[in-house]
Amino acid sequence: MVNRRNFIQYSSAAALAVSMPGFAVAQQRLLPTRPIPGSDESLPIIGLGNSSSFRAEDQSVASNLIDIFLDHGGRYIDAGGSSRNSIGRLGIEKNAAETLFIGNYLDPGDEDAMRQEAHIVARAQGKSALDLVHTRSLGGFRAQHDRYRALKEEGLVRFIGIARSGKQNFDAIEKLIVDGLVDFVQVNYSLVEPEAADRLLPLAMDKGVAVNINRPFINGDYFSMIRGHELPQWSAEFDCESWAQFSLKFILAHPAVNCVLTETANPKHAVDNLGAGFGRLPDDNEQQRMLEVIRGISV
């Protein structure tokens, strides 16, 4: 079992000085991976969401975050808007264009315009084909699914899907899964928002659809909720050393989850988040205790 305290200690050096010579990937503990259903590919279980450092094109912070991420075997980065270009540029500069698995957003529209946009983004990211294209428009994706499928069949895109949070959208997402229209879904699931485990996550697993999780910290509200509360001592039994890891380990304990997307512009927080991918995950009984803790705090 990985000694997570040691992981945090030496990983902090990467967070503060990732440019240190000789800081080789071989010296790092690499994140566990989970297979993408229906493919021979796997994704590391911790990913990066569309951080403000990417959106603001803060190249220094963004470069630091990607270095930390790559040093520990990370691959998936969610990219929307201007982030598509800034992440792509950094990936090319680091000779990691093919290593990174970038989740892009492409809204439904004119078929030729969608195709042209896919070409432009692929060039900006140094890729022959976009890894994943998804949209937040559930209705638009269904109505124009043939256009997304055409991009995949033409080799411009490898995987297609949707990305949407909110339990009010789960019925529509489940129908897309049942109808076999998506390779990936990105949804919210956490200790505060556990509803996806009722039907959606088991359905995705049963139908062979990959699942990425957003809102692990409820856009920061989770930390406001637990502020002033002590982390349960028994969480050390599943190698948990922070409240951030408490949330992430709960999410990762669900077998349907391929990758959980973490958003931060703080390198120390990025290292802590990555730490959740190591050591034991909570079992069913421990997950129930975790839910009870958060429900008690939120009352």
Which residue do the tokens 């000779």 mark?
95
- Encoded tokens for 74: 């990370």
Is 173 inside any structural domain?
yes
Is 4 inside any structural domain?
no
Q: How far apart are CA 173 and CA 83, in angstroms?
A: 25
Strand 184-188 relative to strand 33-35, pairing:
unpaired
Is 116 inside any structural domain?
yes
The answer on pLDDT for 272 being more than 50 is yes
| Local confidence band at 203 (pLDDT 50, 70, 90 cut-offs) | very high
The answer on pLDDT for 162 being more than 80 is yes
Is 123 inside any structural domain?
yes
Count of domains observed in the chain: 1
| Local confidence band at 50 (pLDDT 50, 70, 90 cut-offs) | confident
Output 7 or 170, whichever has higher pLDDT.
Answer: 170
Is 202 inside any structural domain?
yes
The answer on pLDDT for 145 being more than 80 is yes
For residues 41-58, average pLDDT: 85
| Local confidence band at 58 (pLDDT 50, 70, 90 cut-offs) | low
For residues 203-222, average pLDDT: 96
Q: Which residues does 225 contact at the CB level (< 8 Å), separation at least 6?
A: 192, 218, 294, 297, 298
Range of the structural domain that residue 174 is part of: 41-298
| Local confidence band at 57 (pLDDT 50, 70, 90 cut-offs) | low
Is 257 inside any structural domain?
yes
CA 15 → CA 20, 52, 82, 92, 270, distances in Å? 11, 17, 24, 21, 8
Is 246 inside any structural domain?
yes
CATH at 45:
3.20.20.100
Is 34 inside any structural domain?
no
